[in-house]
A and B are shown apart, each in its own frame.
Chain A
Amino acid sequence: MPAEPTPPVAALPPAVRRGSAFTRLFQGDRGVVLAFLLPSLLLLVAVVLLPLAYALLLSLEGAQVTVVGGHGSVSGSFVGLANYAALFANPGFWQALRTTLYYWLVSILIEVVFGIGAAVLLNRRFRGQTVVRALVFLPWAIPTVVNANLWSMILDGDPFGGLNALLMQLHLTTAPVVWLNPSPVLAQVAWLSHALTAVGASLGMNWIIVGDEWHTLPIVIFLTLAGLQSIPHEYYESARIDGAGPWATFRHVTWPLLGPVLAVVLILRTMQLLRAFTLIYTLESTGLPVLSITAYQYAFTFGAFGQGSAVAFLIGVLALLIAFFYIRVLFRTEFVA
């Protein structure tokens, strides 16, 4: 029996000719790109998007831990935006928000100024450069909990606390200072002290920023240094030939080309700072309730997973807004340049 002739491709119905939607998705270069991206995408969905969606769902429920019939779960009825409304009506939430924003803003300013400054210096050639780079990077290698305990001993409020003992032996102070007490700063200048307290500043928070920056500034320096080293040397050569001084070179060459790297560094650090927990909790317990500690306290201490999830979700939204700002400003800088 003669074989049935195969119809020409052009004669097939369009749907058959193009294959299924799934098959088409993997055709050509797009297929290769997707094949490489798929594992990461699946992981992203599993560990980021699904938990995020679950957190959003919990934040809209009066969710709490229940054990029914010998089986535990986190469940609750739909309450709409009631958890958010309760948070916004709670002065403690606004205090936590102000403290968090203060912590983030001061830390980021330190990191931009000292991080870029140190990176520019380390980018120059000098004798012992490798040793200095290694020493600068050392604090980053210390685990966060160890760093927290280290600062706990340095800032101990007793006379034998590291900093107190040093200051008292040098006769710079006569009595020990409780460095980690969340007391107002610059109490001698009442109006300034009130203003700083209103924006979330306190003695304890300032020292936490010092302890955190000692630990994390190295990674900012080194990521920025990597960004600096990716800038072609010819650009600096051209600037020099055009007679640009160090500031003009930094302003018109380094800064614009560093923008994208800086945006990544700042987004990374912003996310870390907004959800910072370990150092603050280790040093202050719940005495300095930033947003992450508030979320933890609501969910795990008070058992109110709905409100805890609402705080956690707001931290995410805040991080997203700040990241959006960075991208708009820093990437645009590059294009304008």
Chain B
Amino acid sequence: MRRSRPVRGAVGTLAALGLMAAGTAAVAPAAQAKAPVTLKVLYMNQAGYTPAVVSKIVAQFNASHPGIHAVVTFLPYPEMHDAITTSAAAPTATYNVVLSDLIWTAEFAARGYTIPLNKYLNKLANSGAIPPAIWNGFKYDGKIMAMPFLANFQNFYYNKAILAKAGFTSPPRTMAQWLHQMEVIKAKGIVKYPYEDSWLQAEGLTCDYVRTAAEFGGTLFVDGKPAMNRGPALQALEWMHMLYAKGLAAPASLEADEPHAAAAFTSGQVAFNTNWTFVTGLMDSKATSSIVGDGVVAPFPTYNGQGSGSVSGYQGLAITANTPPSLRPAAWTFIQYATSPAIIGQHLQSEWPIWRSLANSPQEKAILGARNVAVYEDNLAHVQNRPIVPNYLQVSAIIQKYVHMAIAGQMPVKQAADAMVQQIEALPAIP
């Protein structure tokens, strides 16, 4: 077995380990003392913590825990929620440990698909070892529904060579500057479309809308009520439509998902891309990029030029409620192992770590660069969570439909925003 890389630095890490161990000391040995059990894990086929990385973690776990045999299944994102739902519908769970997106937290809690992990995590959640913003993505009604695993969020990416050709030496800090840079790049014919985003009618579109509203200094929901037809959320929708109508955003954005939009950026076709952290690795690899050395990650431009504005895509590991009680300690043992600083610390090149001690570690700075670490922390500090409500997927489906129509000009922006609010308010609550 390959030896794990020692993780240095880390009073915080040791403290975190201690807290996790304290929370589970009574559980883990019991699980390992029993006869070998099979633990079924559902994970997402994605760019951050790839299937290869997770398979390695699972192999390490199996080797070090002879009493438990973890088997992992990988599915693409669009199939994850539905696989968890059908698993919940079975008398006994198809999957015992599942990767849970933060947008499912409220639904899974309200419907009881996964179990609260408070008894394991209360102390850790209050320790400060993981930023509170990440915990908030997995809390609903006082229950902690998952242990954070991925601290994914969006970054602003630009091509400095294209900006230089257009006569700009620094990235935009305000929305007005960004618009000006895009107009100049297009007018000079450096690229046909300066920007591409993932506006396919899917969850990525909701993420981009939430993030754009954050750039304008607001959110889609105010005091728990939909507020798309006024203030920053309406400005965001007008902005997205304007970019499309002026030919500043590539028309292909309307059918692009995140990897597609990232490919347009890394192939040098567009100057700007707003995307998840995986683009950082993608743009600097000769295997996946033709702009190596020219791609730069930066804080997002904002309306007033202050701070940044991002959107979260946190993912955690949860235990399904129809996992037999006898198997739950083993499930927690796996979660504890996979999310531990020691394991996360082995894969710093794959994903931004959930642990503060690792995010500030010399290893992370060596991998990402001190400047990029600062940018990441800035964007993470200004992240907006999508609404944590039990009927989120219905809310998001309505948002996707009308935002897509508004961008494409199939419905006036204000009319689309009003329709969104009206339909969201009319949704029946999930019992």
A residues at B contact (CB < 8 Å): 64-68, 70-74, 156-159, 161, 175-178, 180-181, 183-184, 284-287, 297, 300-303
Contact = CB atoms under 8 A, between A and B. Distances in A.
Contacts of A287: 200-202, 404
A64 B429 CA distance: 13
Given A65-B89, A285-B200, A287-B201, A301 B82 contact: yes
B198 to A, nearest CB: 11
Contacts of A73: 89, 91
Contacts of A157: 250-252, 254-256
Contact of B111 (A65, A156, A161, A285): A65
B: contact size bracket: 35 or more
Contact of B201 (A74, A156, A158, A285): A285
Nearest 3 A/B pairs, CB to CB: A287-B201, A157-B252, A300-B82
Contacts of B252: 156-158, 161, 176, 178
26 contacts: A66-B112, A67-B88, A67-B113, A67-B320, A70-B323, A71-B91, A72-B87, A72-B89, A72-B91, A72-B92, A157-B252, A157-B255, A175-B251, A177-B251, A183-B410, A184-B410, A285-B200, A286-B397, A287-B201, A287-B202, A297-B397, A300-B81, A302-B394, A303-B85, A303-B107, A303-B111
Most buried by A among B200, B252, B430: B252
Interface of B: 78, 81-82, 85-93, 107, 111-113, 192, 200-202, 250-252, 254-256, 264, 269, 320-325, 391, 393-394, 397, 400, 404, 408, 410, 430
Contacts of B400: 286
A184 B405 CA distance: 11
Contacts of B410: 183-184
For A66, A67, A70, the residue with the greatest tally of chain B CB atoms inside 10 Å of its CB is A67
A65 B255 contact: no
Contacts of A176: 251-252
B85 A300 contact: yes
B202 A65 contact: no
Contacts of B255: 156-157, 178, 180-181, 284
Contacts of A177: 251
Which of A65, A159, A178 has the most B CB atoms < 10 Å from its CB? Answer: A65
Contacts of B408: 181, 183
Given A300-B86, A303-B107, A303-B430, 4 more contacts: A68-B112, A158-B250, A184-B410, A286-B397
A31 B393 CA distance: 55
A298 to B, nearest CB: 10
A31 to B, nearest CB: 41
Contacts of B87: 72
A286 B202 contact: yes
A159 B410 CA distance: 23
A70 B92 CA distance: 8
A301 B113 contact: no
A71 to B, nearest CB: 5
B264 A158 contact: yes
B74 to A, nearest CB: 17
Contacts of B92: 71-72
B85 A181 contact: no
Contacts of A68: 112
A297 B391 CA distance: 13
A143 to B, nearest CB: 17
A92 to B, nearest CB: 8
Contacts of B82: 300-301
A70 B113 CA distance: 10
B53 to A, nearest CB: 26
A66 B250 contact: no
Given A156-B252, A181-B408, A72 B324 contact: no
A303 B427 CA distance: 14
Contact of A301 (B88, B322, B397, B430): B397
A175 B247 CA distance: 10
Contacts of A285: 78, 200-202
A320 B112 CA distance: 38
Contacts of B93: 72
A65 B86 CA distance: 8
A184 B107 CA distance: 35
Contacts of B269: 158-159
A310 B82 CA distance: 19
Nearest to A284: B201
Contacts of B254: 157, 178, 181
A66 B192 CA distance: 51
B65 to A, nearest CB: 23
A117 B420 CA distance: 47
A161 B254 CA distance: 14
A286 B200 CA distance: 9
A157 B251 CA distance: 7
